[in-house]
Amino acid sequence: MNPIQLFDPDSCTYTYVLFDEASREALIIDPVDVQLERDLTVLREHDLRLRWVLETHAHADHITSALWLAEHTGALTAAPAACGIVTVHRPLQHGDEVTFGSQRVRALATPGHTAGSMSYFWERATSQGVQRHVFTGDTLLIDGCGRTDFQSGDAAALYRSITEVLFALPDDTVVWPGHDYRGRTHSTIGHEKAHNARVAGRTLDEFVALMNGLNLSRPRRMDEAVPANLHGGIRHDADGAALDAPQPADGYAGDVPPAVAWDWVQQGRAVLVDVRTDAEREWVGYVPGAVPLAWKQWPGMQPNPGFDDGVRSLLRGDGRPLLMLCRSGARSIAAARRATELGATAYNVLEGFEGDLDEHGQRGRRGGWRYRGLPWRQN
């Protein structure tokens, strides 16, 4: 089966894995945090290499595993630009295409459930002819549609998205919804046009009146889920601090997983400092925006006499915490300790550029900055 449809029973969320049969490159839509192991197993069992993690919108009813999946597989994340997800690697506009192997999906702006919501259209040539699929998130559900009473929802916009964008697709297009609460798996555009109880036969005004009169209860996980989903699935407390950062460490401020480190950098809350040698930056690559400040240097990996002055000059800046990043997480601990002695709030980025510790502190999975879908570049 391609797409592979997966279900999270707690939130009734459907997650989809689409793949290119020849190259085994894959894309996943709307993954759920508690299903991370399942999704990694599905990818492994089907021998798939995940290229993209897509979101249809910033969900209110479950937390995405987007960044965790990216970190485990080296995939990049993509989401509608208008959703404001700050950790996203590739913000999407209407009409953008995301490719995996020889396949491509097209982003369709379908606002209404949220202002940023998108659907993804996949036209796939097979030996039986062209198959068309659309992944509608919470815009169009089977015999229903997403709610529009919170999170920038807009019933009139949803009506237009369904009737003018989705219903403009060929009738035989298979509709794969973001949820179903009654065990139904898929539908077609033709069927929804004729039978969808919310939309079929209703005018814009009738639809808006219906949606505004639904009086639904608030999603139970909304306050937790939306802020986490705006950060790729990383949970934050009420003060905006990432909750997945481990405990303070001996002699420096603490150990920070790469995803959290990158989150802090993007929010401007910390400065990323690359303490590898100049030669490593040249050979292996670097994280854009990281301040180069070697802890040791070739030849012979001698201590860098300029390290202390480099830290002092960073401290004279705005005093933001420093995130020390090296190859394996050894030099970065030493550098964080020294920077702490010099008066900095300094963290060690766990396992550095190439480590294999996962976000839950377990070894044995390929991790590391360069593999985790976090940005790095080669010269």
Q: How many CB atoms lie within 10 A of CB 168?
A: 10
Amino acid identity of residue 269, one-letter, is: R
Contacts with Fe ion by CB under 5 A: the residue count is 2
Can you tell me the distance from the alpha carbon of 242 to that of 11, in angstroms, rounded to the nearest whole number?
23
The helix-helix angle for 36-45 and 66-73 (nearest 10°) equals 40
Q: How far is the CB of 141 from Fe ion (least distance, A)?
A: 10
Q: Omega into 31 within 30° of 0, i.e. cis?
A: no
**What angle (nearest 5°) sits at the alpha carbon of residue 17, between those of residues 266 and 225?**
45
Residues of this chain, 194-253, that bind Fe ion according to CB under 5 A:
none
Question: Tokens in use for 102?
Answer: 């020889």
Query: Smallest distance, Å, CB 15 to Fe ion?
Result: 13
By CB under 5 A, tell whether 180 contacts Fe ion.
no
Q: Least distance (Å) from Fe ion to the CB of residue 53?
A: 17
CB of 152 to Fe ion, least distance (A): 11
- Per-residue DSSP letter, 20: -
Taking the complex as a whole, the smallest distance from the CB of residue 243 to Fe ion amounts, in Å, to: 22
The nearer residue to Fe ion, 110 or 340, going by C-beta atoms, is 110
For position 138 contacting Fe ion by CB under 5 A, the verdict is: yes
Q: Which residue, 124 or 179, is less far from Fe ion as judged by CB?
A: 179
Q: Which is nearer to Fe ion, 138 or 351 (CB)?
A: 138
Q: At what angle do helices 258-266 and 66-73 cross, to 10 degrees?
A: 120
Residue 45: DSSP 8-state: H
Q: How far is CA 137 from the centre of its chain?
A: 15
Tell me whether residue 138 or residue 244 sits nearer to Fe ion (CB atom): 138
User: Shortest distance, CB of residue 256 to Fe ion, whole angstroms?
Assistant: 30
Instruction: Please state, in angstroms and rounded to a whole number, the distance separating the CA atoms of residues 312 and 58.
Output: 40
Phi, psi of 266 (to 5 degrees): -65, -30
Give 232 or 329: the residue with its C-beta nearer to Fe ion.
232
55 binds Fe ion (CB under 5 A): no
Query: Which residue stretch of 56-64, 308-316, 347-355, 371-379 sits at the interface with Fe ion (rule: CB under 5 A)?
Result: 56-64
**In terms of CB distance, is 138 or 154 closer to Fe ion?**
138
Pick the stretch among 34-42, 55-63, 249-257, 364-372 that binds Fe ion (CB under 5 A): 55-63
Cβ proximity to Fe ion: between 145 and 265 the closer is 145
Q: Which residue is nearest to Fe ion (CB)?
A: 138
Instruction: List, in order, residues 6 or more apart from 61 with CB less than 8 Å away.
Output: 11, 13, 179, 219, 221, 222, 225
Shortest distance in whole angstroms from residue 117 CB to Fe ion:
8
Q: Which of residues 75-134 bind Fe ion (CB under 5 A)?
A: none
Q: Is the alpha carbon torsion for 69, 74, 79, 83 positive or negative? A: positive
Chain contacts with Fe ion (rule: CB under 5 A): 59, 138
